[in-house]
Every structure is written in C-alpha cells, then in structure tokens.
Amino acid sequence: MIKLNTIAILIAAMIDLLLGDPVNPLHPVRIMGRAIARLDRVLNKESLADKEKYRRGMIAAMIIPAASFAIGCLISYTAYRLGPVIYLLVEAVLMSQLIAARDLAKEALRVGKALAGKRIALPTGKINAPLIIEGGRTDEERLASGRKALSWIVGRDTGYLDRDGVIRAAVETVAENTSDGVIAPMIYMLLGGLPLALAYKAVNTLDSMLGYKNDKYLFFGRASARSDDIWNYLPSRLSAIMICIAAILPGYSMTGAFRIWRRDRRKHDSPNSAQTESACAGAMGLRLAGDAYYGGKLKKKEYIGDAIRSIELSDISSSCVLMLASSGIMLALGLAARILVIFLIGE
C-alpha cells in the first residue's frame, strides 16, 4: 500500500496546485466544522463551571480527531480493497482537499489586486454567488477594497490598517499558513497517509473554531488550542527551515532568513506562529507583525524581522512564491524519504 499511497500524495499535491480547493458541502473540513459546531452547542453551556467547561472541551478535542482518523482508516481500507485505481483516485482527491497552497496564494493575491484597483470576486461559501468588488479609482477606494479582501483571510480588524499595513498583513498570513495550511498537512500525509492527515486537519479546525481566549471559549477551547500547538510544533519548525532553504532563490536572502528565524522565532504568543513569519521576514528583508486590533481592542505585539527596505505591493506575490517553493522542497524531501523506505523494505 505504501507505494500507491506515495503516488497518491504526489497526485494530491498536483491536484491542489492545478485546481485548488473547490466549494463542496462534502469537503472534509466542512464536515468537521459542522461536527465541531454541533459539539459546541451540545457541550459548551454558559451555566457550567469553568472546570466542567475545560473537561468537556477536552472531550471535544479528542472525539473529532479520533473520529476523523477512524473514518480515514475505513475509507483507505475500503478503497484499497476495491482496487489500485479506485484507491489512487479516492486518496488523491481527498488528500488534495487537505492542502491549501493554491487557495492560500489566490486569496492573498486578491488583496494585492484590490489594492491595485482591479475587480475581484470574493468567495461567499456558495458555489455561484461570489461577492464582486469593482476596482477602486481613488486611493481611498482601493484601500477599502484591499481591507475588505484582507478581512476574508485574517482575524484582526482591517479597518485600522493603512496600505502598507494591509500588504504586511497579507504577507504575514501567507507566511503563517505556509505551515498550517500546506506543509503540516503534507508532513502528516507523508507520515500516515489520509487517516493521519484527516486527524491533523481536525485538530487544526478545532483550534480555528474553539481556540479563542474569550468568555465563551477560554476554558472550553483550551484543550483544542493546546492540542494544535502540539501537533504543529515540529511542522512549524520544519516549515521555517524549508522557507530558509527556499530563500536561495533570486530576490531573497537565505542568510537573512536563518538569522531572523533564530532571533525572532519566539516573538509570538503561540509557540509556532512566529517560526514561519520570522523566516519569511528575514528572507524578504521586511519587518512584520507589531501591534494589531482585534474586536476593537489594541493587542501589543513584538515586531518580527528588520525593516531593511520598505514593503511593496509585489511582496504579496513574493511571499506566495516563497510558500510554493518551500512546500515543494518539503514534498520532494518527503517523497524521497518514502522511496528510500520502499527500497529498503522491498514493498
């Protein structure tokens, strides 16, 4: 099975790169999201004591990944029993929906297009109902469009950002999601195929839905947030190293990437988020992060990187190139390791 699974992972990466992630009510992450929302309604009651909320949150943090892994095993086993062609098709299609390289680049580039005054279409969650934003003619209109496009991919308040701030936030999003959205799922696919990749995606989705430090989720979502930190600990650091290696490309700085990564990789509340941001900042010679508004409240944050040069609109596309190159290196190394294992065990 390992040979077929290795081929399926390569096909999955190609499908994502060529087609992206189509809107689909049966998308694995959408199904996970509905299941998490249902558990949230059933288990997370406002009247509960904090200790009970935490206990119930731990149950939710275990059930969804365990169920996702079990379902993944069932799907893989059933597809394998139906024959190699069916197995390759099922595995490749499902795993392609767990990688977000093309969509991450597409969404970030929308921000750049909006700032440049171009007409953009924002996704609304409906197949035939995108939100159309016409190109702005004035600087104010273009900035408003850029803020709107950015609001679809970040959690911060975008209304406080100037043009450079919008560009910087887009670059930061690409850098952070290089791990969470692209390389981390690849790593878990390479380690355990579809089942383990589904389990990782369940952990990631739990954190994105429940891992907030507000009154509702401070205790109920704590286990989900910590679980996400654990699952992303190694992938975030490998992703940062891949970004540093990819910075050998013209226009980037490999030495700068390694230097800033070593210096600034811990400048974030999360133990993982600053890993890829710092590598990206060093590779591109930019200063990222800093203070941001969330829910109308200012959150103080340290800066990451050095402002060797001023940020430019083209930096959004440059961050996407760095994301694609680093994920390609990770995939190549992972597939090479799998081929070596196949050669050694003779399967």
pLDDT per residue over 186-242, tens digit each?
Answer: 999 999 999 999 999 999 999 999 988 888 888 999 999 999 999 999 999 999 999
State yes or no: pLDDT of 129 exceeds 90: no
Judging by DSSP bridges, how do beta strands 292-294 and 288-289 pair with one another?
unpaired
pLDDT digits (tens, 9 = 90+) for 228-277: 999 999 999 999 999 999 999 999 999 999 999 999 999 988 889 899 99
Q: Angle formed by the axes of helices 163-177 and 273-284, to 10°?
A: 120
pLDDT at 268: 84
Whether 318 and 173 have beta carbons less than 8 Å apart is answered as no
pTM over 0.85: yes
Mean predicted lDDT score pLDDT of the chain? 91
What is the token pair recorded at 211? 């891992």
- Mean of the pLDDT values across residues 315-319? 96
Label residue 296 by pLDDT band (50, 70, 90).
Answer: confident
pLDDT at 305: 94
State yes or no: pLDDT of 127 exceeds 90: no
State yes or no: pLDDT of 126 exceeds 60: no
φ, ψ of residue 288 in degrees (nearest 5): -115, 180
pLDDT digits (tens, 9 = 90+) for 11-30: 999 999 998 877 777 889 99
Q: What is the DSSP letter of 309?
A: S
pLDDT digits (tens, 9 = 90+) for 43-73: 998 888 889 999 999 999 999 999 999 999 9
pLDDT at 90: 94
φ, ψ of residue 212 in degrees (nearest 5): -105, 150
% of the chain beyond a pLDDT of 70: 98
pLDDT at 255: 96
- Mean of the pLDDT values across residues 158-173? 94
Q: How far is CA 119 from the centre of its chain?
A: 26
Could you give the 3-state DSSP secondary structure of residue 131?
strand
pLDDT at 346: 67
State yes or no: pLDDT of 174 exceeds 60: yes
